[in-house]
Structure 1
């Protein structure tokens, strides 16, 4: 991994949110990940992960959250193109979601309804990626 950056970081406290009597809120993240291989440098990959919560800003949820994290990876070329893409995708998911989870907790801790602790994210197929030529 070469670097990790946030390309979007938005946390909005919902006016009129009424916490449930038990104090719990339904936080359902929508996660997506994309991994793209650089056609000019076949060993370089850019991964982008986005997490969206309460996109429509419904008052049943305390926040509307939209986070996007990008990470740049470089492989050593010792694996097939398919294996490299799979390995980068698995690592990108772990790195990017971890960064998003930490940022959401930090940002919401400074908001009126308190911190949001995101749970685990499970990477499921199909994995979005761009096709590219095989390594030679």
Structure 2
């Protein structure tokens, strides 16, 4: 028996970075404990006015914003995606679906960019861990 492929109701139109900052911390001295780099992730998703089913999502990941020398890098990345939800979804379903999809797509792009950029820095590559999407408090 063959299975019929079902089209996913959300599509990605475009992804681009509006901020890509990686600063190697002068005076950083690696230690055996290696303080973990903890990302702060923020995502916003908004419908585009006058374009039903079209959404703009922005994800920002910040690491070591205080430029503490116990960490090898200070990182600030911001990635934008344009998504479309088809008319089979309600407005609420479309917003939820785009938020989940955007989180996966945009954080994946940020992880890849951080890895690539830090691999060319003096303290070596940083591979960010997973990001878990959670409801706002």
* TM-score normalised per structure 1: 0.90
Residue of 58, 77, 87 corresponding to 2:97: 87
- Per-residue Cα deviation, 1:2-32 (whole angstroms, up to 9, x for no partner): 010001000000001111125x332000000
The equivalences for 1:8-19 within 5 A come to 8-19=19-30
Aligned to 1:120: 130
Instruction: Single out whichever of 25-34 and 118-127 deviates more from structure 2.
Output: 118-127
1:121: Cα distance to partner? Answer: 0.1
Q: Structure 1, unaligned stretches of length 5 or more? A: 128-136
Aligned to 1:132: none
RMSD (Å) for aligned C-alpha atoms:
1.1
Q: Structure 2, unaligned stretches of length 5 or more? A: 1-11
Separation (CA, whole Å) in 2 of partners of 1:33 and 1:25: 25
Separation (CA, whole Å) in 2 of partners of 1:4 and 1:126: 24
Residue of 20, 44, 67 corresponding to 2:31: 20
Residue of 60, 67, 82 corresponding to 1:50: 60
* TM-score normalised per structure 2: 0.89
Aligned to 2:49: 39
Runs (4+) off by over 3 Å: none
Secondary structure of the 2:122 match is: coil
1:95: Cα distance to partner? Answer: 0.2
